[in-house]
Amino acid sequence: MLGRSANGVFWMTRYLERAENTARLLEAGFRMALTRGDSASADEWRSVLVTMGLDRAFAEARGADYSGSQVCNFILRAPDNPGSVRAMLETARTNARMVRTAITREVWEGTNEAWMALNEALARPVRETNLGDVLSLIRRHTTLVRGAMDGTMLRNEIFNFARIGTFIERADNTARILDVKYHVLLPSVAWVGSSLDHVQWETVLRSVAGDRAYRWLNAGRLDARGIAQFLLLDGRFPRSLAFCYAKLSSNMAGLAREYGAETPSHALLHAACARLDQTTVEQIIEAGLHETIVSFLRRNGELAVAIANDYRFIE
Amino acid sequence: MKTTPTICYDEMHDGENAVRPAYSGYSGWYGEQDQAWLRKQSAEAEGFFRRTGITFNVYGNDAGEERLIPFDMVPRIITAVEWRKLSRGIEQRVRALNAFLHDVYHRQEIVRAGKLPERLLRENAAYLPQMAGFVPPGGVYTHIVGIDLVRTGPDDFMVLEDNARTPSGVSYMLENRETMMAMFPELFTRVRVRPVSDYPRRLARSLALCVPPAAQFGNTERPTVAVLTPGIFNSAYFEHAFLADQMGAELVEGSDLRVVDGRIAMRTTRGWQPIDVLYRRVDDEFLDPLTFNPTSVVGVPGIMDIYRAGGITIANAPGTGIADDKAIYSFMPEIVEFYTGEKPILKNVPTWRCSEADSLAYVLDNLAELVVKEVHGSGGYGMLIGPTSSRKEIAAFAAKLRARPDNYIAQPTLALSTCPILTRAGLAPRHVDLRPFVLVSPGGVEITPGGLTRVALKKGSLVVNSSQGGGTKDTWVLED
């Protein structure tokens, strides 16, 4: 398999995953804005921008108008925002086109249709009345592509690289969502577990589609500790860091099997898995959740770079 | 604006508007169909092409925009008898082309025999001195050829153009058939049509027969074949990806390749892997920045040296453009006879070489009736179609022609045959041409029964090029 193709499937699935998570994040923000006052919802929308790393770009382009319609349109479709969901789908589709021979017809068509449908839906500014439809369109199409991959692709190196892209991105997104809520919206660590706003934690859970699962597991207890445990360490929840890293492990093991050898990136991954495995949520809170997440994000990024190097993604 | 001659050979109907034998089966089926349903199917086909990404990038104003090549659902049908004769003519012509290429890069017997002016080789940018004295692996120059044919009467097929460099369009031949079979499966039980779906397999086999001397295989290994594309912004990218996919070959770009241990190797996830046969869809000029255009970023630096040392097979061989050059084209009847010792089975279109003073004078006097083409042009760019051009356009073209007569050839405006297309008002005739695809290997010449039929969608128009708004049709060769 060409290094460039590995790079292509890796970024195709990363961008699809990012688009999906962005839609979830906006959905949670939208719900929050519906249930709260204007000033609180401005904070909420701003936190969405911070999570995506778009706060500075937004402030430069739109000033301090953190209204739902401004923020949503900026994130979804603004031509002057290279990090928009529309641009993500465009990049995913360009990558898919580039690796057309590495993916099945169904995966290609799914990606192409996702791009076509979204371009049509985002041709005009999105209004509050159709925001829900647009967001569910994004979720539905990205889910279809994942389903097509699951159902049609040969389980070989190509599939491994595609899955690695998905889970590197998902782990990154989940960690960011948790960090922004915890770090940016909370005045200080002293607030943990005390006067923390339940609605806000609900939003975090919603934006990773984990609200129901969390309630089912924790029977009404809603606190930072429980949520950190759930999003970071619960290997049963498909958007948790522990789950993502278990998937990374099995796909990297697939590569090692196929190529007959492990690479330096395998060593990084083993170390990361051991850390997740041996850490308790108490230790994390003790060491500082924000600090833990920041170092996780850095290592997650380093792992992606190491994989790209080891498998010759670029010259 | 004048239109074309009104009396043209129609593929489906004769002069009395009776259905010709080739179309009897189809016509019976067509008569039973509901028109509204046919139009709906036609619209659905478009959605299908869009979804599957069968698109064509157009250069020029809307750079990068992906467009569909319009597909018309009335097939162009050729009888078994017609096809037998065409095949014989095509095979003869393709053998002559390869013999000619070998000759012009070796002893140039044809020049010595006085059948071809030496100047045409010497002053021709398509002639590559780097190929002189070199025999490509397997002795094959043109692994893939597309012969453009036009028809002006029941037995009058003429070659309009030979495509010996990197002919495109074969993916449309295959997808058009797939589309027709998906839309009208019952039609194929009523009319027995020879299949074309074998093409990618034959192409892969034919390329694999031309391994370079440096390639060494055990009993179970097969040669590594790769398709070289300029990238996703190339007009024919879909086709490059399609063929690589169908052949099970890697689709590579110049940036994936480099010279490693005397071979051309591709960067894979496990290191550099040598390529045995490279089906390149990159023009000669851009193939090797060290040898040709130094600014090329889509080629492979050093590939020509490796090629000449027997480290890789390039298909088609560099320098084959000399055989499909439009100035050389006018000598094709002599070329066929010189190398095969037979009279050409397929005729050439009468051609005036503007480099010759008498011809130039005639062409300038008759511009309004002629089609004038650039010697090195393709894709329908930079040509004049006298009968459909304004006086002003003709005058402007005459000035260009006087300035560089060597750069042009002229041909009569042909009464191209027509084939019906489906319009809102039912069937309506439009001009068509035909490009059958030919594979050449040490094992012989293989012609896929069918080809790409291009159709001018505007009434009366003679320009069928997809870059100029032409469409395509499925092409049927009937079983005996």
Quote the pLDDT of residue B220.
64
Quote the pLDDT of residue A29.
82
Greatest C-alpha distance within chain A = 58
Do residues B327 and B248 share a domain?
yes
Interface confidence, given as ipTM, is 0.84
Which residues, 6 or more positions from A114, have their beta carbon under 8 angstroms from its beta carbon?
A16, A89, A92, A93, A141, A142, A144, A145
Residue B2 within any structural domain of the chain: no
Element (H, E) at B399: helix B391-403
Band the pLDDT of B377: cuts 50, 70, 90: low
Nearest CA-CA distance, residue A113 and chain B, Å: 6
For residue A120, give the amino acid letter: E
Rounded CA-CA distance B16/B299 in Å is 55
Nearest CA-CA distance, residue B253 and chain A, Å: 9
Window A:103-132, CB contacts with B under 8 Å: 105, 108-109, 112-113, 116
Do residues B190 and B67 share a domain?
yes
Helix axes B357-365, B391-403, angle to 10 degrees: 170
- Partner-chain contact A315 B255, CB within 8 Å: yes
Q: How many CB pairs under 8 A join A and B?
A: 58
Do residues B87 and B164 share a domain?
yes
Band the pLDDT of B435: cuts 50, 70, 90: very high
Which residues, 6 or more positions from B107, have their beta carbon under 8 angstroms from its beta carbon?
none
Do residues B91 and B224 share a domain?
yes
The verdict on A262 touching B (C-beta cutoff 8 Å) is no
Eight-class DSSP state of B11: S
A111 → chain B, closest CA residue: B51
Q: Last residue of a domain, which of B363, B388, B413?
A: B413
Residue B208 within any structural domain of the chain: yes
Whether B302 contacts B314, CB under 8 Å: no
Nearest CA-CA distance, residue B457 and chain A, Å: 27
Do residues B52 and B158 share a domain?
yes
Quote the pLDDT of residue B53.
77
Do residues B323 and B272 share a domain?
yes
The verdict on A98 touching B (C-beta cutoff 8 Å) is yes
- CB atoms near residue B292 (< 10 Å): 18
Cα–Cα distances in angstroms (integers) from residue A118 to residues A7, A112, A137, in the given order: 24, 10, 8
Whether B380 contacts B353, CB under 8 Å: no
- Residue-wise pLDDT for B248-294, tens only, equals 999 999 999 999 999 999 999 999 999 999 999 999 999 999 999 99
Do residues B120 and B225 share a domain?
yes
Do residues B228 and B292 share a domain?
yes
Nearest CA-CA distance, residue B242 and chain A, Å: 7
Residue B16 within any structural domain of the chain: no
Rounded CA-CA distance A80/A70 in Å is 13
CB-nearest partner of B245 from A100, A116, A157 = A100
Do residues B291 and B409 share a domain?
no
Quote the pLDDT of residue B48.
81
Quote the pLDDT of residue A42.
84
Q: Say which CATH number the domain at B367 has.
A: 3.30.1490.270
Quote the pLDDT of residue B244.
96
Do residues B226 and B241 share a domain?
yes
Q: Which residues of A touch B56 (CB under 8 A)?
A: none
- Partner-chain contact B53 A1, CB within 8 Å: no
CB-nearest partner of A3 from B231, B244, B269 = B269
Q: Which residues of B touch A98 (CB under 8 A)?
A: 231-232
Rounded CA-CA distance B352/B424 in Å is 41
- Rounded CA Rg of chain A: 19
Residue B6 within any structural domain of the chain: no
Is the preceding peptide bond at A21 cis, omega within 30 degrees of 0? no
Residue B441 within any structural domain of the chain: yes
- Residue-wise pLDDT for B230-254, tens only, equals 999 888 899 999 999 999 999 999 9
Quote the pLDDT of residue B82.
96
Domain span including residue B427: 21-349+414-477
- Partner-chain contact B271 A312, CB within 8 Å: yes
Nearest CA-CA distance, residue B239 and chain A, Å: 11
Rounded CA-CA distance B161/B349 in Å is 9
Q: Last residue of a domain, which of B394, B413, B432?
A: B413
Eight-class DSSP state of B346: S
- Partner-chain contact A315 B245, CB within 8 Å: no
Rounded CA-CA distance B438/B315 in Å is 13
The verdict on A6 touching B (C-beta cutoff 8 Å) is yes
- Residue-wise pLDDT for B170-213, tens only, equals 999 999 999 999 899 999 999 999 999 999 999 999 999 999 99
- Residue-wise pLDDT for B320-352, tens only, equals 999 988 889 999 999 999 999 999 999 999 999
The verdict on B267 touching A (C-beta cutoff 8 Å) is yes
Do residues B359 and B299 share a domain?
no
Q: Is A251 exposed, middle or buried (0-12, 13-18, 19+ CB in 10 A)?
A: buried
Quote the pLDDT of residue B379.
59
Whether B64 contacts B86, CB under 8 Å: no
Q: Which residues of A touch B57 (CB under 8 A)?
A: none
| pLDDT average, residue stretch B375-388 | 77
B265 → chain A, closest CA residue: A2
Structural domains of chain B, count? 2
Quote the pLDDT of residue A221.
79
Rounded CA-CA distance B224/B228 in Å is 13
The verdict on B269 touching A (C-beta cutoff 8 Å) is yes
Do residues B373 and B421 share a domain?
no
- Residue-wise pLDDT for A80-113, tens only, equals 999 999 999 999 999 999 999 999 999 999 999 9
Whether A51 contacts A176, CB under 8 Å: yes
User: Could you give the residue ranges of the DSSP H alpha helices within chain A?
Assistant: 3-35, 38-51, 55-62, 68-76, 85-98, 105-121, 128-152, 157-179, 198-207, 211-218, 224-228, 241-259, 264-278, 281-287, 289-310
Q: Last residue of a domain, which of B413, B436, B463?
A: B413
Residue B226 within any structural domain of the chain: yes
**DSSP reduced 3-state for A311:** coil
Full pLDDT tens readout for chain A, 315 residues: 999 999 999 999 999 999 999 999 898 888 877 777 677 778 888 888 988 899 999 999 999 899 889 999 999 999 999 999 999 999 999 999 999 999 999 999 999 999 999 999 999 999 988 999 999 999 999 999 999 999 999 999 999 999 999 999 999 999 998 888 776 655 555 555 544 467 778 888 988 989 899 988 988 777 778 889 999 999 999 999 999 999 999 999 999 999 999 999 999 999 999 999 999 999 998 898 889 999 999 999 999 999 999 999 998
Eight-class DSSP state of A211: H
Cα-based angle B463, B468, B470 (whole degrees, multiple of 5): 65
Window A:176-195, CB contacts with B under 8 Å: none
Please check the confidence at residue B116 and state whether its pLDDT lies above 60: yes
Residue B462 within any structural domain of the chain: yes
B247 → chain A, closest CA residue: A101
Backbone angles phi, psi at B197, to 5 degrees: -65, -10
Rounded CA-CA distance A313/A95 in Å is 13
Residue A254 C-alpha from the chain's centroid:
23
**B431, β-bridge pairs:** B418
